[in-house]
Amino acid sequence: MADSPAFELACERIEADTNLERIETRGTVRLALKAAGFNASSISPDQLAVVVEKLLPGELTRRGVPNPGSVCARVKDALSSMGAIAQEEAPEALFVRMGGG
């Protein structure tokens, strides 16, 4: 299954702003996503922005990336400029609707 545009954009930004290789970057973001309960194929820009803010700095620090906070802030800005993207309905959508949400 293809990775989401939000995931691709975040990885491109991190790769451009750090000395991490492409495969390292993608693995780092995937680890953050796994810890947050997401996968790369279906995450939305809004959801990824939260993961980038709360979990990615720790992952980048572990890989010796300097100034992880500012890197993540730039990734968040890039994600916020993506706007809404048409996505498939999430598996939990039925249960959200059942609660009237």
For other proteins, the binding residues (CB under 8 A) are: 1, 35-39, 47, 50-51, 54-55, 88-89, 91-99, 101
Q: Report in angstroms how near the CB of residue 74 gets to other proteins at its nearest.
A: 20
Minimum CB distance to other proteins, residue 49 (Å): 10
Q: Which CB, 32 or 60, lies closer to other proteins?
A: 32
CB atoms within 10 A of CB 50: 15
Which residue lies nearer to other proteins by CB, 4 or 18?
Answer: 4
CB of 63 to other proteins, least distance (A): 21
What Rg do the C-alpha atoms of the chain give, in angstroms? Answer: 14
Helices 45-54 and 5-17 meet at what angle, rounded to 10? 40
Contact 68, 11 (CB under 8 A): no
CA–CA distance, 16 with 20 (Å, rounded to integer): 9
Nearer to other proteins, 22 or 34 (CB): 34
